[in-house]
Structures are given as structure tokens and as C-alpha cells.
Structure 1
Amino acid sequence: MAAAATGAVKLLGHKMSLFVTRVEIALNLKKVGYEFVQVEVHGQKSEILVKSNPVYKKIPVLIHQGKPICESAIIVEYIDEMWTSEPPILPSHHFDRAVARFWTTYIDDKLLSLLKALAFGAAEGSSKAETVDRVAEVLQLLEEAFAECSHGKDYFGGDTIGYVDIALGSCLRWMKTVEEIKNVRLLDEKKVPLLVDWAERFLQDKAVKEVTPEIDEFRQYAKMILASAR
């Protein structure tokens, strides 16, 4: 995409990274033009990545007016504060902002770690079943959080996609991929009907569809990662 009028914007990332997808969704919501720079994340890291994020050497990195910003959650907040046009990503009320940050941290700490364990670490049998049960518990709490945060509207953020929507929504394709490769059901409409309906709305949003790879791409990428992990 073209550079934004407020200063050159570059995003260092990899198209299959859900953390990068979070940043792209935020940029799309704010209609910020940017240049996407695909970087090597497997094996030897790209020089531009090491230079831009010398501490963690991880994606995503947003470079705005020559200055790098790292960590997806921090970048999304930066985008919301830097480009104040509608729609807002974080709530305006301080308490609601704190709640949104809490659930975003919960998603990263609990849901993502369990999905990773299920895909790469959980063995067949009871260990796999226990992990699936733990994912179900996490999703049930997020179902309840959605009911509370959405106030009967379409998204965690209310009428429009917000901070928690971006955090959880970026996991949806990977969750579907894990369901397929492990032959399990995670996002079950009988258990979390609100989240199932929300997920469909989220993935159909234009700002999301433009930057979210198709499920076939995730399948192929997951097969490659699993093969290299053996």
C-alpha cells in the first residue's frame, strides 16, 4: 500500500503471523497506507528486522517516520493514538480500556499458549483431551466477556471492531487450522454461540478480509511448520 500522508509507514512482518495480522487490521481500520516488508523469520533473521528490533528480533515492527515500534499490542495502541480518525480501537473510558487490555493479555497468555500446545506439544489420548478441555474453558470465559463487553452489539468493541476483537480475531484462522490437523472441535456453536456468530462477522469485515490469508494457506504453512518441528 502507499505511504500514509502523515509520514512514511512500513510494516515488517510475515503474512502468516497472527501478530502481524493484528497490526494490518488496525492500519486498515484507520485507513492508513503502509508498505509491507516481508522478512525472514525462520533461520537467519533478516538484517532489517535485527536492526529495527535488536532486543527481541521478532515481528511485527512498525516503522513510522523512521522510528520502530515493536510488539503487536503496543503497535495497535500506537496506531489508535497516532491516527485518531474513526473508528476508535480502544474504548474512551479508562475502565473499559483497562478491561480491554486485560482480555487481550488473557488471550495471549492463555489461548495462544494452549493452541500452540495442542498443535505441537499435546500427545494423543488424555493429554490431548485435557488440552482441548482447557481451551474450552478459556473460550467459555471469552464468551462471557463478549456478552459483557459488547453490550448486545456486534463486537467486543461495540458497534465496531475494537482492541479485543483484533486480538481474538487474529487467532481464528489458526484455531480452525488446529481443529483440522488435530481433528478436534474448539469453537463450538453449542458451547459458545455468541463467539461463533461474532467470528463469522469479524472475518467478513472488509478491513479483516483484505489482510487475512485464506484457510488453505494456513493449512500449507502449518504442515511446513509441523514437519520442521519433528
Structure 2
Amino acid sequence: MAEVKLLGSWRSAFSLRVEMALKLKGVEYEYVEEDLSNKSPLLLQSNPVHKKIPVLLHNGKPIPESLVILEYIDETWENGPPILPKNPYDRAMARFWAKFLDETCFPAFMKAYVSAGEEQVKAKEEVEKFLKFLDDELKGKKFFGGDSIGFVDIAGNVLAYWFVIISELVGIELITKDKFPNLCAWIEEYLNSSFVKQHMPDREKLTESLRARFQKTSTAK
């Protein structure tokens, strides 16, 4: 078994978080693409609680959950730039914003995408409220981490890439320059970073995958 192995999926923003962190730190690893419709025994054994990717295997020991894995990578490999801030307060706030993205923002986005009528109107209003918090947090900053890409930026790749594509597919524009100028500037800066450009999945391929998923959701309504 390779010293470092990642069980992931090319279409998963959460899997990509881990790949970006490993590459940022210069860690050599073996990537294993999982078929999520037919999960491997290794995945089920490595993450028996949630049975989800990503899972990082380090010397045979499994670490699940993307944000947990990012912290593990940052603490385990000192080479490369830090992912989390060194200052304890800044570190705590980075954890706060990453958790806010995963547990508050992303579910609200998905609700807005799949709902209809009055329910969708309310869902969009909730999303905009959350986006305003992020926009304010980015005021005067290039990235969430300051001048360089860090923990919250990597966590936010869902927002910068996946949700932009989904918004186009379902015809709902949620992140606009007039309402959220700082957030839009961050998305542009982030996606145009040479490091990020190297690792984002092919846009056309991802769009087709997401289109198939959201067509199924629409048909199921």
C-alpha cells in the first residue's frame, strides 16, 4: 500500500479539496477513483460511518471528511505553505467560515436549486443573507486567508466553480457583482490563480455530469 492514498471522485468538490491540499504541500500520493454507484470494499471499510469520499489513507490509517483531512495534511506535512493560519484566533475563524460554508451555505444553495415557487423565493432570500456575510468577510482581502490561498478558499471551491455551473444550468443567478462585489472578485481571483487552474476538473465534462444529475432531480419533482 502506498504511504498516502486518496479515495475520491473527479466530480466531487470535496475530493478536490484534499487533492489541492496535498499538491499545495508537495505530498506524493496515489489517487483511487471511486465508483460512487458501486463503492469499493476499501471505501466502505475505511469510512464505515458515512461510507463517503474523500478518505485519506496514511500508512494504512483512514481519515474521512474533507475539512478534517485538510487539517491533518497541514499538521502532518510541514513542507509547503501553511493551509491554516498560525495565529490561534485566525485559525479558529478559518474553521468557523469553512464550517459555515459546509453546514449553512451549501444546503441553502441546494434548496434554492431544487425548490420552486414561494419556497424557492424564500430559499433564495436565505442564500443572499448568507452570501452577504461572506462578502463582508472578504472586504479588503484578496483571499479569505489574506494574500494567499488557504483553508477557507480551498473549502470554498464548491462556491467558486460547482455552484456557478449549477446556477447556469438551472437558470438561477445567486452571486451577482452588484450585490456581492467582494465575493465575485474573490471567485475571479481564485479561479484565475495558476495553482487552481491546474486542478479544477474540465468545465465541459463537469457541466455534463451536473446536468444529468439536475435533470434527474427535476424529473423526480
Relative to the length of structure 2, the TM-score reads 0.92
Between Structure 1 and Structure 2, how many residues are aligned?
218
Give 1:1-230 correspondences, 5 Å limit.
8-42=3-37, 44-120=38-114, 122-123=115-116, 125-147=117-139, 152-229=140-217, 230=220
CA distance in 1, matches of 2:68, 2:96: 14
Conserved? CA contact 2:141–2:147, under 8 Å: yes
Identity of aligned residues (%): 40
In the TM superposition, what is the alpha-carbon distance from 1:218 to its structure 2 partner?
Answer: 2.4
**2:58 partner letter:** H
Q: Determine helix, strand or coil for the equivalent of 1:92.
A: coil
Conserved? CA contact 1:114–1:131, under 8 Å: yes
CA distance in 2, matches of 1:75, 1:223: 29
**1:162 partner letter:** G
Give every structure 1 segment of 4 or more consecutive aligned residues whose post-TM-superposition deviation is greater than 3 Å: none
CA distance in 2, matches of 1:220, 1:118: 20
In the TM superposition, what is the alpha-carbon distance from 1:57 to its structure 2 partner?
Answer: 0.8
Q: Determine helix, strand or coil for the equivalent of 2:156.
A: helix
In the TM superposition, what is the alpha-carbon distance from 1:18 to its structure 2 partner?
Answer: 1.0
In the TM superposition, what is the alpha-carbon distance from 1:16 to its structure 2 partner?
Answer: 0.7
CA distance in 2, matches of 1:139, 1:193: 11
Uncovered stretches (5+) of structure 1, i.e. residues with no partner: none
Relative to the length of structure 1, the TM-score reads 0.88
Conserved? CA contact 1:22–1:170, under 8 Å: no
**1:143 partner letter:** D
